[in-house]
Amino acid sequence: MSTEANQTPDQGDFVSGTWAKRRQDAMRELGKAPWTAKFGLLVIFVYVFVALFAPLISPYKESQVIGPEYLDIGQAFYVEEEGKIEPLFSDEEIAEAREDGKEISHLVLGTDNLGRDMLTRLFYGARNTIGIAFLTTVLAFVLGGLGGMLAAALGGWTDQILSRIVDVLMAIPQLIFALLLLTIFGTSIPILIIIIAVLDSTRVFRLARAVSMNVVVLDFVEAAKLRGEGMGWITMREVLPNIMPPLAAEFGLRFCFVFLLISALSFLGLGIQPPTADWGSMVRDNATLITFGIPTPLIPAGAIALLTIGVNFVVDWFLQKTSGLRDDL
């Protein structure tokens, strides 16, 4: 890296300008965004919409048992009694029911291992899973990112103490530690969020510190120190913008690692508690079906994968913008 580097990459769009101008800028940026970023934003928008309005768009209640278990995608049925459905397996049965004046409908995604509607569970799962994963990841990044930058910028004892605490936390295998803590403190959702966020923040800390270390030895940071700028100013104005790209890249992945940790915990019997629907547990509950070539567990797994891809596409776009790269390089 050359020593002539003495300016921060352009951060104008993010730190200056009035609201109106910013919005205008944002719209213009969006227009110029590559199709992947637009696709990512669309995915995120749809997921957030589903998460917010799950109770309104779901055909049934979150944990309502509507009929037999493992009904197929597109299963025909009529409503038998309040809340229960009667599946119709053959064309003759459907014709018969129609003659009886029954109203025939079809299940979009079938039912799960307890006879609950998969579509409903998927919608509610969006709400719970995204909410929890997002909160956890943000909390982890605030904790880990700030800690890492501080450690790098201040150095000395602060760095030593923070790094040693993180070393200890990271030296204990994450899954085992989570297992231990969740068994001790119980598996309520706030506790789940806090425990996973704290454990995850250690990873963020490591990365933030590593990249910050590269930044704080650069001349413009030295210059700011000589100018007598405060540590907070240096951290927020000089260090943060420069470590944003790798951190952002990490955010996209960390976000989906939270889903994964939760589903791993539910594999071991902890994790989000029923009847709360979450995609990780939905994969777990139906996973054995895949070994017989039945695609049901692919639906929640696909929902997680699609969101991860969407989030990472947007992150990539952000990465590209902040690094000030031209596509034609």
Partner 1 sequence: MHKLFILVAQRLALGLLTLFVVSLIIFLGVEMLPGDLAQAILGQAATEETIAAMRERLGLNLPAHIRYLQWLGGIVQGDFGTSLANDREISELIGVRLANTLFLAIVAAAISIPIALTLGILAALYRNSWYDRTVNVVTLSFVSTPEFFVSYILILFLSVKMQAWLPGFHFPSLSNVSWDDTFLERLYAVFLPALTLTLVVIAQMMRMTRAAIINLLASPYIEMANLKGLSRRRIILKHALPNAWAPIITVVVLNLAYLIVGVVIVEVVFVYPGLGRLIVDAVRTRDIPVVQACSLIFAATYILLNLTADVMSIVTNPRLLHPR
Partner 2 sequence: MTKFDKLKELAVQGRLSRREFIGYASALGITAAIADPLFMSSAKAAPTRGGTVRIGHAHGSTTDSLDPGTWENDFTIEMSFAVNNFLTEIDVDGQIKAELAESWDASDDATVWTFKLRKDVTFHNGKTVTADDVVASFNHHRKDGSESAAKPIVSPITDIKADGPNTVVITLSGGNADFPFLVSDYHIPILPATADGIDWKSGIGCGPYAMESFDPGVSAKFKRHDGYWKSDRAWFDAIEYTAVVDTAARGNALVTGEFDVISRPDLKTVALLERRPGIDVEETSGTAHYGFPMRVDAAPFDNNDVREALKWAVDREELVKKILKGRGVVGNDHPIGRSNRYHATEEELPQRTYDPDKAKHHLKKAGMENLKVKLQIADAAFAGAVNAAELYREQAAKAGIDLQVAREPDDGYWSNIWNKQPFSGTYWGGRPTEDWMFTTTHDKDAEWNETAFKNDKFQKLLVSARSELNDTKRRDMYVEMQRIVAHEGGSLIPMYNNYVWAKAKKLKHGEQMAANWDLDGHKWQERWWFEG
When asked if residue 59 is in the footprint of partner 2 (CB under 8 A), the reply is no
Which of the residues 277 through 316 are near partner 2 (CB under 8 A)? Answer: 286-289, 291-292, 294
User: In which residue are the tokens 């291992």 written?
Assistant: 113
3-state secondary structure of 296: coil
Query: Phi/psi at 188 (nearest 5 deg)?
Result: -75, 160
What's the closest the beta carbon of residue 181 comes to partner 1, in angstroms?
A: 7
For position 121 contacting partner 1 by CB under 8 A, the verdict is no
Closest CB 12 distance from partner 1, rounded Å? 15
**Element holding 153 (H helix, E strand):** helix 118-154
How far, in Å, CA of 158 to CA of 162, rounded? Answer: 6
Q: Is 274 in the site for partner 2 (CB under 8 A)?
A: yes
Only one of the segments 25-33, 92-100, 102-110, 278-286 lies at the binding site for partner 1 (rule: CB under 8 A); that segment is: 278-286
Q: Give whichever of 73 and 139 is closer to partner 2, judged by the CB atom.
A: 73
**Closest to partner 2 by CB, 107 or 166:** 107
113 binds, among partner 1, partner 2, none (CB under 5 to 8 A by kind): partner 2
Report what 249 binds from partner 2, partner 1, none; CB cut-off 5-8 Å by kind: partner 1
Using alpha carbons, select from 210, 211, 213, 199 the residue that is nearest to residue 143: 199
Sign of the four-CA dihedral 225, 227, 230, 235: negative
Verify binding: residue 275, partner 2, rule CB under 8 A: yes
Distance CA(144)–CA(205), nearest Å, equals 4
Min CB(319)–partner 1 separation in Å: 6
| Pattern 254-273, partner 2, x by CB under 8 A | ---------------xx--x
Site for partner 2 in 152-181 (CB under 8 A): none
Q: Which of 144, 137, 123, 133 is nearest to 63 (CA)?
A: 123
Three-class secondary structure of residue 78 per DSSP: strand
Restricting to residues 295-314, which ones interact with partner 1 according to CB under 8 A?
297, 301, 304-305, 307-309, 312-313
What is the Cα–Cα distance from 169 to 171, expressed in whole angstroms?
A: 6
- Using left for φ > 0, alpha for ψ between -120 and 50, and beta otherwise, residue 87 falls in beta
Question: Out of partner 1, partner 2, none, which partner does residue 274 contact, by CB within 5 to 8 A per kind?
Answer: partner 2
Residue 123: beta bridge partners?
Answer: none
Contacts of 140 (CB under 8 A, 6+ apart): 196, 197, 198, 200, 201, 203, 204, 254, 258
CA distance 52 to 46: 10
**63 touches partner 2 (CB under 8 A):** yes
Identify residues 149-178 at the interface with partner 1 (CB under 8 A): 164, 167-168, 170-177
Of residues 191 through 220, those in contact with partner 1 by CB under 8 A are: 203, 206-207, 210-211, 213-214, 217
DSSP states of 207-274: HHHHHHHHHHTSHHHHHHHHHT--HHHIIIIIIHHHHHHHHHHHHHHHHHHHHHHHHHHHHTT-SSPT
Nearer residue to partner 1 within complex by CB, 111 or 266: 266
Q: Choose the contact partner of 140 out of partner 2, partner 1, none; CB within 5 to 8 A by kind.
A: none
Contact positions vs partner 1 (CB under 8 A) = 1-2, 4-5, 9, 34, 36, 164, 167-168, 170-177, 179-181, 183-184, 203, 206-207, 210-211, 213-214, 217, 245-246, 249-250, 253, 256, 259-260, 263-264, 267-268, 280, 283-284, 287-288, 290-291, 293, 297, 301, 304-305, 307-309, 312-313, 316, 319-320, 323-325, 327, 329
